[in-house]
Amino acid sequence: MSIISNCTASAIKDAAAALVKGDLVAFPTETVYGLGADATIEDAIARIYKVKGRPKGHPLIVHISSLGNLDKWASNIPEYAVKLARAFWPGPMTLILPRTDLAKDFITGSQDNVGVRVPSHTVALALLKEFESLGGLGVAAPSANRFGAVSPTSATAVEIELADYLSQNDQILDGGPCLVGVESTIINCTQSKPSILRPGAVTKEMIEDTLRISIDLNNLDSESIQIKVAGLLESHYAPNAKIFLTGSPSLGDGFIALDSIATPTGALRLSSPKTNEEYARVLYEAFRLADFKGLRRVFVIPPTGEGIAVAINDRLSKSAFEK
Ligand code: TXA
Ligand code: MG
């Protein structure tokens, strides 16, 4: 495995060629780092599952460089989905849509729908464009962490998560720290009305303002759609340290809260974000710091309110879930 710290045009060319050959390339997106493979090569996708230790059947998001390529992967695209794509792509939003024949069972977990996203990170977009210029159609990329662990928001975090599992020809592209810090908003677009399956930086309010309708959060209607979302498992996004969302820390326990909240006596401050956006950006790194320091318990005061606070609270409650 090599870490490419200088993502020049020629480095991007090499990485795109590696994808075409069936190797894995971890790359930065604005949300978290993804572990990428050519979404049409079954063996390469099988390696993603192996490297992540992810159980079979969890679907993968296909990354493309622009809305213009969406109909290669998705069919029967509702008008509201096009509106959302126009408003928020490139950006931290994944649309779940009915699949075309290109989206095989090994991508969709044998479901009839496929998740697609256009990321906005310049390195991700450059890689996708180069890959497409070589004839590539889409890059499947889950977050570049071991299954159930914390998503990486830096190339170093990818290395810590996956170095032991990647092969010699695989690459990690270093594009700096991720600006959003939590995974994309996932929107179910397979029904007459959209619903949010995983909250993210494209918030409920932003979607409602764009479409001028009210929408539901986590509206998993098992009658009308069978969607498996690994991020909906109750325990996920978890560091080794145990996360507490209530109670007070004892001497030596970790502590994460907005900067305006004072550190309880004896606790070890892991992060002091000034805004909810910064909270999302630094949360996973704070979890990693807790593990690096070998802490057993971390007390977190969750942010309140709407917007990105909803996504942060979603991840916090999953990371605090008893395994
Ligand atoms: O921000 C993100 O979305 C990052 C970056 C790398 O793009 N990717 C990411 O992928 O978070 P992953 O695999 O770690 O989480 C994607 C979630 C999973 O819970 C998966 O089950 C769900 O999306 N998903 C993917 N395709 C789906 C589909 N067709 N139907 C329902 N859920 C789907
Ligand atoms: Mg993930």
- pLDDT recorded at residue 94: 98
More confident residue, 71 or 323: 71
Cis status of the peptide bond prior to 98, with omega within 30 of 0: no
Pocket test for ligand 1, best of 45, 94, 112, 235 (most atoms within 8 A of CB): 94
Taking residues 315-323, report their average pLDDT: 85
Instruction: State whether the beta carbon of 186 lies less than 6 angstroms from ligand 1.
Output: yes
Q: Is the CB of 118 under 6 A from ligand 1?
A: no
CA-based nearest residue to 94, from 82, 106, 103, 85: 85
> Does residue 60 line the site of ligand 1, with CB under 6 A?
yes
Q: DSSP letters along 128-162, please?
A: HHHHHHTT---EE--BSS-TTSPPPSSHHHHHHHH
* pLDDT for 234: 55
Find all residues with CB under 8 Å of 148, minimum gap 6, and list them. Answer: 233, 235, 236, 238
Exposed/middle/buried for 98, CB within 10 Å: 0-12, 13-18, 19+? middle
Alpha helices, H only, 22-121: 42-52, 70-73, 79-88, 105-108
DSSP state of 74: B
Interatomic CA distance for residues 168 and 203, integer angstroms: 39
Q: Is the CB of 111 under 6 A from ligand 1?
A: yes
Q: Which tens digits make up the pLDDT trace of 192-242?
A: 999 999 999 999 999 999 999 999 886 454 333 445 554 555 567 788 999
CA 8 to chain centre: 24
For tokens 């949360």, what's the residue? 283
Ligand 2 centre distance from Cα of residue 61 (Å): 10
Ligand 1 atom closest to residue 186's alpha carbon, by position in its atom list: 23
Cα of 142 from ligand 2 centre, angstroms: 6
Q: With a 6 A CB cut-off, is 227 part of the ligand 1 pocket?
A: yes
- Helices (H) and strands (E) in the chain — how many of each? 10, 15
Q: Indicate whether 3 pLDDT > 50.
A: yes
Separation of CA 76 and ligand 1 centre (Å):
20
- Identify which of 24, 31, 54, 61 to mutate to test ligand 1's pocket (most ligand atoms within 8 A of the CB): 61
At 166-194, the pLDDT tens digits run 999 999 999 999 999 999 999 999 999 99
pLDDT at 265 exceeding the cut of 50: yes
Does any ligand 1 atom lie closer than 6 A to the CB of residue 153? no
The answer to whether 114 and 61 have CB atoms below 8 angstroms apart is no
| C-alpha 252 to ligand 1 mean position (Å) | 35
Residue nearest to atom 23 of ligand 1 (CA): 229
- The two beta strands, 139-140 and 61-63, are antiparallel
